[in-house]
A and B are shown apart, each in its own frame.
Chain A
Amino acid sequence: MITFLLRRTALAFVILLIVAILLFSMMHMIPGDPTVVALGPRSTPEMREAFRELMGLDRPVLEQLAAFLGRLAHGDLGQDVWSRRPVLTMILEVLPYTVMLAFASFIWAVAFGILLGCVAVVHHGKWGDWLIGLVSIAFVAVPSFVVALYSLLVFAVWLNWLPAIGAGEPGDIGAQARSLILPSFAVGLGWVGYVSRLVRAAMIEAMGEDYVRTLRSYGVPETRIIYAYALKQALLAILSVIAVGFGGLLTGSVFAEIVFTRPGLGKMTYDAVMSRNFPLVMGTVLFTSGLYVICMILADAVTAWLDPRVRSGL
């Protein structure tokens, strides 16, 4: 298992490297002055000079690339053009909000999704199964920002039960929790549907296994077979898929942060795009890719660990 993990990590590095090179080269591939490309036609000559200095644009391209990659290796994701603050610092400031949102969405979506999936399996073939299936697919289909807008409309504007803006003051747990409810609902809803379909499919496959026949031949009650045996096999099977999705949740929170005006990685990136703040954008995109890849590796590691067949081959 160790070699397996090492190989995956190495592959992840290569992928991140390629992403970095791609982003770097995008700047140069577009015709025109790279500073204008990055900072937009409305940027001032001072900004462009600062950027040129920062990126060392006077030097040969390969040297720039090497310098860029070298900075990356030291965790230097560049500097914000306006404030000259390190991008990494800015990211770490807002990251906790995004992580909280992703976490909250993840928990409720997975819990509810597993529940729905189990109920569907228990009613397999009957109308309950069919209805849950339809609803699950609908949840997946509807865009999350529409859900966000509508829940904002109903619960924050019309009913005024929950806050429409912000993430609550630091230290005020109650306010922070309340401001998490609607955004995590919006982000998680699509996941509820996805997880429920996954769980259902995996459990149906598990119920077709031979060992289920053994259990049945001893009269073991069907519910026990479903919850103690099939569910565990199903969860193992979908664990890696779900864990990868966590990485997706991190970044899918962009819309939720904008609709609910929450601080976070997504909102910061969006604001950076609107103000043509290229280094910030590139920094966050790279950081996000890294997070995503780390989640994938963790997911593989956890799955391998939980499966006794793989674990004993350590």
Chain B
Amino acid sequence: MATVASATTNETVAPEPGALRRVGHTIAHVMSTPLGAIGVILVVLIVGMAILAPYVVPYNPTAINVKARLADPSLAHLLGTDQLGRDLLSRVIVGTRTAMTVALTSLSVAIALALPLGMIAGYGPRWLDGLLILVFDSISSLPMIMLGLAIVVLLGPGVSTVILVIVLYSVPSYARLVRAQTLSLKTRDFIKAEQAMNAGTPRILFRHLLPNVIGPLLILACLDISTVITLEAGLSFLGLGVKPQIPSWGNILSDGFAVIRNSAVPVVAGGVPLILATIGFTFFGEALRDALDPKLNPERKP
């Protein structure tokens, strides 16, 4: 995949020509399995709902109307209302947007942090590598929820806390992947050629290593979307996530839990989209990983 850098080394190791075509092939491959097909359909549904939310939402999801509390599903309110009289359908729809926004933001931040950290660990001096690895291992030795709880108790609940928890949880494993990739690429010819020509370290890192390590990282992040959604919903369910007014599937579930003996609708309304989203993204991620696995697809170059 990598060709030796040209004499002027003004070219980066570009992705192969026809990258768009390869993406198309990959998607087709993913859709050809039942796993992938279900995943893609669900993902498209969820992302679509998130994008279209402001346009399709029937009511203001935060509009409190205590007179209409816990109304049964009807034509006016397709999913009924919660105990504050807010329309459940609207809350569910906007909840999709919340989930996707949090996921996107936190994963982007995590990637942005993991890339330099991983590359430094892989490319830099051994002592720095050892230190970073130790820090990564320490953070990952804390189970996610515990880490979350510890941070929340210090910073208080809120969207930024959730994002921080997700970032802290994801960065060690992402950085480790980047580091592994960097280590294996470090000894490849094209890097050595650069070093032989006295290219500066930042240049090597950014123009040559970066394009090659970002691919697997993106795939890992893709697989993680489901976990991130779960984490956000979980923290919101515990009341430690987004503020109660902001609709989140976790909030809906926790409100529903409080009235579970009166009405099952809120719990079902909050849970079903969460289930669909987690299953959808997980199926999609697994199918994607299978499609890109060189062992399963000999015609793909690793």
Contacts and interface: CB of A to CB of B under 8 A. Distances in A.
Interface of A: 14-16, 18-19, 22-23, 26-27, 30, 37-38, 40, 130, 133-134, 137-138, 140-143, 145-146, 149-150, 152-153, 157-158, 247-248, 251-252, 254-255, 258-259, 266, 269-270, 272-274, 276, 278, 281-282, 284-285, 288-289, 292-293, 296
Contacts, number: 128
Given A15-B134, A259-B257, A274-B239, A289 B142 contact: yes
Given A19-B138, A293-B141, A273 B275 contact: no
Interface centre among A133, A143, A288 (most CB of B within 10 A): A143
Contact of B154 (A37, A140, A152, A254): A37
Given A134-B34, A150-B271, A14 B152 contact: no
Interface stretch (B106-114, B143-151, B193-201, B210-218): B143-151
A37 B152 CA distance: 11
Contacts of B257: 149, 259
Given A258-B238, A292-B141, A140 B253 contact: no
Chain A's interface: helix, strand, loop or mixed, by majority?
Answer: helix
A140 B282 CA distance: 9
Contacts of A27: 154
Contacts of B283: 134, 137-138, 141
A57 to B, nearest CB: 15
B226 interface: yes
A281 B234 contact: no
A157 B141 CA distance: 37
A40 B155 CA distance: 9
B152 A273 contact: yes
Contact of B149 (A26, A37, A281): A281
B204 interface: no
B261 interface: yes
A137 B35 contact: yes
Given A14-B134, A15-B134, A285 B142 contact: yes
A23 B134 CA distance: 16
Contacts of B154: 26-27, 30, 37-38, 278
B2 interface: no
Contacts of B253: 145-146, 149
B237 interface: yes
Contact of A142 (B141, B150, B268, B279): B279
Contacts of B275: 142, 146
B58 to A, nearest CB: 25
A130 B283 CA distance: 13
B278 interface: yes
For the complex of A and B, list the 4 residue pairs with the smallest distance between their C-beta atoms, beginning with the closest: A141-B282, A251-B143, A18-B138, A143-B230
Contact of A281 (B153, B155, B230): B153
A30 B155 contact: yes
Contacts of B261: 157
Interface centre among A145, A252, A258 (most CB of B within 10 A): A145
A14 to B, nearest CB: 7
A272 B264 contact: no
A154 to B, nearest CB: 9
Nearest to A154: B264
B153 A157 contact: no
B238 A153 contact: no
Contact of A149 (B226, B271, B278, B282): B271
Interface centre among B34, B35, B137, B256 (most CB of A within 10 A): B137
A270 B282 contact: no
Interface in B276-302: 278-279, 281-283, 286
Contacts of B256: 149
A146 B147 CA distance: 21
A269 B149 contact: yes
A255 B253 CA distance: 12
Contact of A289 (B135, B141, B152, B226): B141
Nearest to A34: B154
Interface string B218-243: 00000000100010011001111000
A38 B151 CA distance: 10
A14 B239 CA distance: 34
Contacts of B35: 133-134, 137
B264 A157 contact: yes
